[in-house]
Amino acid sequence: MQVPYEILQKDLEVFKQKALDLGASMAEIIPAQLVEIDERVRLKCFIPLCPFYDKNPYCPPRAPQPEFMRAALSRYSWAILFALDVVPVEEFADRSVQLKMGVQWTKKSIEIAGKVETLAFANGYYLAMGLCQFNCLKALCNQKDCLVLEGDSCPFPLMARPSMEGVGIDVFRLVTKVGWDIYPIYKSIDPKAVPRALAVGIVFIY
């Protein structure tokens, strides 16, 4: 499918506005080439070991491999990057509340990614693909074992999707490239020392 540049840019503006209308704090149209796949990002899922490692089809090591994602994403030219400002910051930065409240922010990022993807698909961009943050097992099913890995059907087949990090996208580098502030959040950090927390998602359009 070849789309004239002027029409493409108008459509991208519509998809960007859709992300904002759905609740994103910020959204940008970006060249897909800004997105970098780095094997070290996936390595961080294993060292130190994430509790969701190998627990669902969209987390490493089952998620699409970096070389596959690098090749696939190279076929895209444009994407919509969006982010949610997590307020209060403690809902990401304080471990005593993050595991419960952080799920709501993941659900929101999944919703935005999915609905922007659907809108793009409905407008002829049939290869549009959205990625979110965190993982679907905790955010959607909220159960210990993934039904798919047990041989059953996924209860959320149109919503479940990999995280950006799970497929090797360097989210920190990408966010700084577009000029947004992002800060490291880790288990022992003082939540008061975190100026901003973001839930980030992306939809590759064309």
Structure token digits, residue 146: 């993934």
pLDDT at 204: 98
Distance CA 205, CA 5 (A): 13
pLDDT at 54: 95
Distance CA 28, CA 18 (A): 11
pLDDT at 83: 98
Q: Which domain holds residue 163?
A: 5-204
CA 43 to chain centre: 17
Structure token digits, residue 2: 């070849």
Looking at residue 55, the DSSP 8-state letter turns out to be S
Distance CA 15, CA 206 (A): 12
Indicate the number of domains in the chain: 1
Strand partners, 132: 163
pLDDT at 202: 98
Among residues 102, 63, 73, which one has the least CA distance to residue 86?
102
Helices (H), the chain: 5-21, 39-46, 66-73, 90-93, 95-122, 136, 171-177
Looking at residue 191, the DSSP 8-state letter turns out to be G
Taking 50 as the pLDDT cut, the residues of the chain under it are: none
- DSSP letters spanning 114-159: HHHHHHHHHTT-TT-EEEBSS-HIIIII-SSS-TTTTTS--S-TTT
Place of tokens 């070389």: 67
pLDDT at 188: 87
Distance CA 151, CA 145 (A): 11
3-state secondary structure of 99: helix
pLDDT at 163: 95
pLDDT at 201: 98
Q: Please report, for residues 23, 64, 93, 193, the alpha-carbon distance to residue 196 in angstroms, rounded to integers and kept in the order given.
A: 17, 30, 9, 9
pTM of this structure: 0.95
Structure token digits, residue 145: 């074992």
pLDDT at 98: 80
pLDDT at 167: 97
pLDDT at 162: 94
**What is the Rg, in whole angstroms, of the alpha carbon atoms belonging to the chain?**
17
